[in-house]
Amino acid sequence: MTRKLFWEDMYMKEFEAVVVSFSNSELILDSTAFYPRSGGLVSDTGFISGVRVQEVYYKGEDIVHRIEGEGDFVNGSAVRGTIDWERRYRIMRMHTATHILSSVVNKESGALITGNKVGPDVSHVDFSLENFEREKLFHFVEETNKIISLNLEVKTYFLKREEAIKIPGVVKLAEAMPPNVSELRIVQIGDFDIQADGGVHVRNTKEIGRVSLLKMENKGKNNRRVYFTLENITS
């Protein structure tokens, strides 16, 4: 089981770890700050001891770093990981923004979230809604930006599963029950939103900037997909 340094410190850009196994370009360490693709978020990229990390994903309880080329990692040896921080920070900002937008839509329309994809440049959220007028959508984005501008603190902590699932709205993704573990990781944005979530977020909504609507699409009768980005995405 890989220790998740990205849960202990979401702002960790570099770390030291020990090689647990390496074969077929798949590198497993005892701990990692690389976020593995999951929960709608793309995986981190970066370098481990000078070797490019192309993708990171879960294999059971282990986290696999798929590296570029042959690589030469010896079990038990120490390595140094470096996250592509500019990219990761954009993902964190996008992710916290995604929670706020989802919560605004959910609170105002009752729609459930049926899927999402959080990336560094463009993200989208799918809502189970029959009608989604453009004006309403602009209003939701406006509300999202209002919440962001309140400079709300974003907290993460663990709760016993029985306690966590009693919180109204703690599971917002339609049909997605939290994994069968005794403790759930909770992400709370001020008093505005609370969710069971494994992803990486910013500490305060003021880091997000502003959400900017890109387009909306119909994805089936009851499914609306909203694409958005952040203003000053490169900052």
36 counts as binding Zn ion under rule CB under 5 A: no
Residues 66-125 that bind Zn ion (CB under 5 A): none
Residues 199-218 that bind Zn ion (CB under 5 A): 199
Please answer whether residues 43 and 36 qualify as being in contact, where contact means their C-beta atoms are separated by less than 8 angstroms: yes
CA 106 to chain centre: 19
User: Which one, 20 or 159, has the nearer CB to Zn ion?
Assistant: 159
Residue 185 parent element (H or E): strand 183-189
User: Which one, 81 or 199, has the nearer CB to Zn ion?
Assistant: 199
Please answer whether residues 134 and 217 qualify as being in contact, where contact means their C-beta atoms are separated by less than 8 angstroms: no
User: Which one, 46 or 199, has the nearer CB to Zn ion?
Assistant: 199
CA distance linking residue 163 with residue 140, whole number of Å: 30
Burial class (CB in 10 A: 0-12, 13-18, 19+), 204: middle
Q: How far is the CB of 217 from Zn ion (least distance, A)?
A: 21
Q: How far is the CB of 95 from Zn ion (least distance, A)?
A: 6
Q: Pattern 171-200, binding to Zn ion, x per CB under 5 A? A: --------------------------x-x-
Q: Pattern 131-170, binding to Zn ion, x per CB under 5 A? A: ----------------------------------------
User: Which one, 44 or 197, has the nearer CB to Zn ion?
Assistant: 197
User: Which one, 143 or 197, has the nearer CB to Zn ion?
Assistant: 197
User: Which one, 71 or 199, has the nearer CB to Zn ion?
Assistant: 199
The two tokens of residue 132 are: 């989604």
Q: Find the DSSP H helices in 77-174.
A: 85-109, 134-148, 161-164
Q: How far is the CB of 190 from Zn ion (least distance, A)?
A: 16
Residue type, position 100, single letter: I
- CA torsion through residues 146, 148, 154, 160, sign: positive
Q: How far is the CB of 39 from Zn ion (least distance, A)?
A: 5
Please answer whether residues 167 and 158 qualify as being in contact, where contact means their C-beta atoms are separated by less than 8 angstroms: no
CA distance linking residue 179 with residue 205, whole number of Å: 27
Q: How far is the CB of 99 from Zn ion (least distance, A)?
A: 6
Q: How far is the CB of 86 from Zn ion (least distance, A)?
A: 21
CA distance linking residue 235 with residue 226, whole number of Å: 23
The two tokens of residue 231 are: 């203003």
Site size toward Zn ion (CB under 5 A) is 2
User: Which one, 130 or 191, has the nearer CB to Zn ion?
Assistant: 191
Using alpha carbons, select from 58, 10, 51, 19 the residue that is nearest to residue 36. Answer: 58
Q: Write out the residues near Zn ion by the rule CB under 5 A.
A: 197, 199
